[in-house]
Amino acid sequence: MSFHDTISTKSIAKSRPDIENIAIESNTKVLNLLLEKVYLEGGYDFRDYKRGTLMRRLDRRLYATGTKSYLEYIQFLDTHPEEYGRLANYLTILVSGFFRSPYTFQQMAGLVLPELVLTKVNQGEHSLRFWSTACGRGEEPYSIAILLAQFLGDKLGDFDIQIYATDINRQALREAEAGVYSRKDVESLPPGIRERYFVRNNGGYEVRTEIRQMVRFSHFDLTSTIKQPFTDLDCLFCCNILIYLQEQLQKRLLSMLYEALAIPGYLILGEAEVPTKNLREKVKCLDVKARIYKKNGEEWGII
C-alpha cells in the first residue's frame, strides 16, 4: 500500500462518524416530516411521543406495508389514506388487563373511595364521575365499575355513576363497548369476581349489564388537544401513558387533567408513571407508590 493509499484510508475511516451523524440527522428530519404529515393529513398527533418506542413500532408498519424507509412510507400514505388509521391503532396499542395493577386498585379502595363517598354523602350529593383516559379494550373502566360495585354494595343504586372511557384506538373502543373477553383475558380474576360480574358467552365472558351501564365509551386523542372533554370529575385514571410521551407533552397533558378535576378530586397515575414537577406542586400525594394525588385547590410541597 502506498503512502497516498494510507492517507486516503485514514481519511475515510476518520469521516465515517461524520457520515453516520449526517445519516442520523437526515433520518430524524424525515421522521419529523412523517409525523407532521400524519398530524396534518391524518389527524393523529404523535409528534411529542418518545422516539424509541415510536420508531420501533413505525419500523413494523414499514415492514407490513413493504416500504423500506420513512420517505417511502410518506409516499405510501399519499396513495393509501386508510393507513393513517392503521398506523394510529398500531402506535397506541397498550398492554392492559383487569385490575392490571392490584396495588393501585387496592389503594383506590382504601384511600380514595371511603373519603370520596363520605364527602358526597355529607354534601347530599349522589353523583360519582370518573374518567379512564386511555381505556384500550375496556378492562380499566370495567375494573373501576366492579370496584365501585364491590365498595358500595347494596348502596350502589343510591348513586348516579358515570365512568367516561376514552381512547384514540377506534378498534379497541369497539371491542370495549362489546364487553366480551376471552377466557385468557379473565383467567387472572378471582373466581368470585368472574361469577358475580361476568356471564359466559360462547366460550368467553361478557361483562354483566349492571357494570356496563356505568361506562360510557367515546373516541378522544389525549395528545392533540389542550381542552378537556369532561369537567368536575371526582377521579380520573391516567396510567401507563406518560411513559410514552416527551416531557413537554407530559406537562401539557397533566395540566389539562388537573383542570378537569373537581375540588376535591383524585388523580391516579399508577406505579409506572413519574409525575412532572408542575403537577406535584399543586396536589397532595396520598400514595407515593401508586401515584395517587388529591386536588384541594391548594399548593403543596413536592413529593
Q: Would you give the DSSP letter of residue 290? A: T
Which residue has 449526517 as its cell numbers? Answer: 22
Beta bridge partners of 167: 219
The pLDDT assigned to 129 comes to 98
Find the angle CA(186)-CA(61)-CA(79) to the nearest 5 degrees.
125
Burial (0-12, 13-18, 19+ Cβ within 10 Å), 13:
exposed
Q: Are 126 and 120 in contact (CB under 8 A)?
A: yes
The pLDDT assigned to 19 comes to 37
3-state secondary structure 208-274: CHHHHCCEEEEECCHHHCCCCCCCCEEEEECCCCHHHECHHHHHHHHHHHHHHEEEEEEEECCCCCC
Q: Using alpha carbons, select from 247, 274, 276 the residue that is nearest to residue 51.
A: 247
Structural domains of the chain sorted by starting position, each given as residue range(s) with its CATH number in brackets? 3-91 (1.10.155), 102-295 (3.40.50.150)
d(C-alpha 197, C-alpha 167), whole Å: 23
Q: Using alpha carbons, select from 110, 105, 222 the residue that is nearest to residue 166.
A: 222
Q: Are 188 and 195 in contact (CB under 8 A)?
A: no
The pLDDT assigned to 94 comes to 66
The pLDDT assigned to 303 comes to 44
The pLDDT assigned to 298 comes to 65
The pLDDT assigned to 258 comes to 93
pLDDT tens for each residue of the chain, 303 residues long: 443 444 444 444 444 445 344 444 578 889 999 999 998 998 888 888 888 888 998 999 999 999 999 999 999 999 999 999 889 888 876 678 999 999 999 999 999 999 999 999 999 999 999 999 999 999 999 999 999 999 999 999 999 999 999 998 888 999 999 999 999 999 999 999 999 999 998 889 999 999 999 999 999 988 876 678 899 999 999 998 888 888 888 999 999 999 999 999 999 999 988 888 888 888 999 999 999 999 987 654 444
Question: CA-CA distances (angstroms) from residue 291 to 2, 284, 286, 294?
Answer: 67, 10, 8, 10
d(C-alpha 187, C-alpha 98), whole Å: 10
pTM of the model: 0.82
Helix axes 83-91, 170-178, angle to 10 degrees: 70
pLDDT tens across 220-252, in order? 988 876 678 899 999 999 998 888 888 888 999
